[in-house]
Structure 1
């Protein structure tokens, strides 16, 4: 549980320095792990990035100072904002009102309480997984930059907009890599890459053969000269070790997928000897059509190292 203790040290450090400078190098040192593992494990456990948590804690305390009569500019400077205007914008996004409106007795404020790490033993739940060394592979997909933490609270809205606006590209990707000639089974691949405190890249991919990828933009092969409008890009997944989990086989595996991800973050990772490796994370959706739709399942590939 060493890295769990490290996260608690990071949380204590943040709380002690909310009205001062918070150094990411110091947080990494206190965590006892690498910067990437700290960043990803924190977001897996909390659903937010370290930056989001620090901002929300500071804005929570700022509201209390304003209620007690502190000037807006002094409050802004206390919590690390260079200008009153920048502070006012951040305050309004979090609380829904301007700092100047806080002392109105009818004002309603939001609050982010300090986090504390508590491990609760829940006895005996089994999680099947394999540590597998996966070879490198090349995918074809479309991508968007998302804000916040992967699988955080604001992912759903961003994903919905992305999928609605890219339906034609999705259909083509699925068709290029169909697992069956009659369309009875398809495989979709969601990939998370380039994770940092500002957000991450979310990819929707498939795995066509090399010939298809090579000739994708050749009008003599495709019969069209506007393939570039579909925003396809190749994504190379490097070889490496992955902890591979999968949901049960069911008609609607999404609920199992959400539950499994929560268990990986809260139970498996803290109790394992592995840390998160800086590499893409994959979710592979195996879609069977009726009458075999009860065979559907989702794989989760978590990049790890000892």
Structure 2
């Protein structure tokens, strides 16, 4: 994976003014665009699209110091008009291109990323790989913003709005793994952009053929393989740390990659005030293929 990410960065540098073909880079290294984008955003701390924009505008800033026409510079960096280029430039540098030509800055530079493998992972991760037949996730869904660290206020409000009796009703509907009440994130952008929207479902897993009440939202999950990570400790910090470690430690060291599908958190045990919890994080995976 480190090699694939390095080649992706090199490809970006060689084609800054062109449409980025992430799928081609992924295929060349035996992985998928979905997995490559997710690993990039997890390790780089920013979506791939944001990195490309920052790099383009970093290089473009140097081109502005001169007499070349602004439209020529805009086209070179993949923009069809000076207006679109100026908006993108100002979003990165917080200053208009004309002001840079006049004053020379200030500018915000995005260095070229370098991915290096470091020796970490001294703490073993409690993981199991299981194959599951098709099943259904049923419960109450809402569109919410993605929050990387800390509690998600929109999710908290969504759960708090449900009557206490509804939590018990849902828990009684669970008839297959993952067991118990579940926190489901679906329809997430592969770039994993913070603030971007996802579908959050508070519910349970049901066997594929189990009946479902009409007042519940349903996510159908096809048969496939799952990596299940168990974590215990302060909530949600321990869970979010484990989630990050799947990208930094587990995926680079194992012959598996993410595949499209919902991510699921099963809360196995928790303190009364939810300050600590034991959880399982279910991620849909498939075996990596050698290039």
1:296 aligns with 2:280: no
Structure 1 residue 205 corresponds to structure 2 residue 198: no
- In the other structure, the counterpart of 1:17 is 15
Q: 1:209 to 1:192 in 2, by over 3 A?
A: closer
Per-residue CA deviations over 1:90-148 (Å, capped at 9, x if unaligned) read 222222222222245484332322111100112632111111123333222323275xx
**What residue is the counterpart of 2:254 in the other structure?**
272
In structure 2, what is the Cα distance between the partners aligned to 1:298 and 1:73? 54
SS in 1 for 2:129: strand
The 3-state SS of whatever aligns with 1:298 is strand
Equivalent position to 2:161, from 162, 165, 168: 168
Question: Matched residue pairs, number?
Answer: 276
Question: Would the aligned equivalents of 2:266 and 2:280 in 1 still touch at CA under 8 Å?
Answer: yes
Does the 8 A contact of 1:62 with 1:75 survive in 2? Answer: yes
Q: Given the superposition, is the C-alpha separation of residues 288 and 305 from structure 1 closer, same or farther in structure 2, using an over 3 Å criterion?
A: same
Q: CA deviation at 1:235?
A: 0.9
Is contact 2:26–2:33 with CA below 8 Å preserved after alignment? Answer: yes
CA displacement 1:227-283 (0-9 Å, x = unmatched)? xxxxx63111222211111211x3x32111222122211111101011222222222
- Of Structure 1 and Structure 2, the greater helix share is in 1
**8 A Cα contact 1:130 1:243, kept in partner:** yes
Instruction: Write the distance in 1 (CA, Å) between the matches of 2:277 and 2:72.
Output: 57
Q: Which residue of 1 aligns with 2:183?
A: 189
Q: How does 1:97-136 map to 2 (within 5 A)?
A: 97-103=95-101, 105=103, 107-122=105-120, 124-136=122-134
Report SS of the residue matched to 1:258: helix
Residue in structure 2 matched with residue 223 of structure 1 by the alignment = none
2:170 equivalent among 174, 177, 181: 177
What SS does structure 1 have at the residue aligned with 2:141? strand
SS of structure 2 residue aligned to 1:115: coil
Q: Which runs of 5+ in 1 are unaligned?
A: 181-185, 218-231
1:281 paired residue number: 263
Check conservation: 1:173, 1:206, Cα contact below 8 A. no
**Equivalence for 2:219:** 235
Q: Aligned-pair distance for 1:162?
A: 5.9
Partner of 2:61 in structure 1? Answer: 63
Change (3 A) 1:170 1:106: farther
Q: TM-score scaled to structure 1, two decimals? A: 0.75
Q: For residues 208 and 274 of structure 1, what CA distance do their matches in structure 2 show?
A: 24
Q: Distance in 1 between matches of 2:96 and 2:268?
A: 48
**What is the alpha-carbon distance in structure 2 between the residues aligned to residue 141 and residue 128 of structure 1?**
30
Do structure 1's residue 262 and structure 2's residue 244 form an aligned pair?
A: yes
- Root-mean-square deviation (CA, aligned residues, Å) is 3.5
CA contact 1:194–1:200 (8 Å) conserved in 2: yes
- Which deviates the most, 89-98 or 206-215? 206-215
Distance 1:188 1:107, change over 3 A: farther
Q: Runs of 5+ in structure 2 lacking a partner?
A: 174-179
Match of 2:176 in 1: none
